[in-house]
Amino acid sequence: MTETRFLGKTDKYGITTIFMVVVMLLLFMASCGKENKEVVEVEFDPENTYTMRTTDVVSLISDSGITRYRMNAKEWLVFGKAKEPYHYLPQGVYVEKFDSLFNVEASVKADTAYYWDKKTLYKLIGHVSVLSLEGKRLDTSILFIDQKEDKIHTDEYFELQEGDKIITGIGFESNQNMTKYTIFDSQGTFPVSETPRDTSNVNTTTVDSTVVEVAKVDPIK
């Protein structure tokens, strides 16, 4: 297991920004560390041949000596020689923010994640759930986090829990803290206490998700 601690000031950032910060720190860690990584030469099909592989990643970020953030990823692949270099986390990612008592107050999770270096764009796929610092929770099947535009968006069915109500619809866009958002096709609002709810659509997508065929290569000795 790769476990790394970082120190930094983090209090004023939203959870999606924190997701970006943790990933970028992981990139720095990967460029410096050696543990649990395979470095390979790309000789064939750079789009599908990884240049680095890291497993069992656990990254901690502390502020004033107190752990504030943690990121877990089972597997992390870097395709550094692709036309548009990207990072691929095929077995899921989970990022959480803690308060001073180590209670989780914000989080991001997904079954699969991508990050494109040049675009500074993240794509989360499958059972995507975002809990904001304001207590709002967004569940959907695909979510894009655009760092340059400072926004998150999905074209899929979503459920947004805000206080004692749940808003459902297709197509959602907001700033990173979900304090200002646009719903493109609202399908209704109902109380959280209304049960049971049919949540099957949250993780059903009508678009093709990217599948990476990873080439098997031998690590450099």
Residue type (1 letter), 212? V
Average pLDDT over residues 46-59: 88
pLDDT tens track for 92-125: 999 998 888 888 889 999 999 999 988 989 999 9
Q: Which residues pair with 2 in a beta bridge?
A: 57
pLDDT in tens, 126-180: 999 999 988 999 999 999 999 888 899 999 999 999 989 999 999 999 998 888 9
Could you tell me the two tokens for 60? 């901690």
Q: Which amino acid appears at position 86 of this protein?
A: Y
Going along the chain from its start, the domains and CATH numbers come out as 2-199 (2.60.450.10)
Position 79 scores a pLDDT of 92
Q: At residue 27, what are phi and psi to the nearest 5 degrees?
A: -65, -40
Kindly tell me if the per-residue pLDDT of 27 is higher than 70: no
Least confidently predicted of 4-8, 41-45, 79-83, 199-203:
4-8
133 C-beta neighbours (distance < 10 Å), count: 18
- Per the model's pLDDT, the better-predicted residue between 55 and 9 turns out to be 55
3 state SS of 99: coil
3-state SS assignment for residue 72 = strand
Q: What is the mean pLDDT of the chain?
A: 77
DSSP code at position 22: H
Contact partners, residue 40, CB within 8 Å, separation at least 6: 49, 50, 51, 52, 217, 218, 219, 220
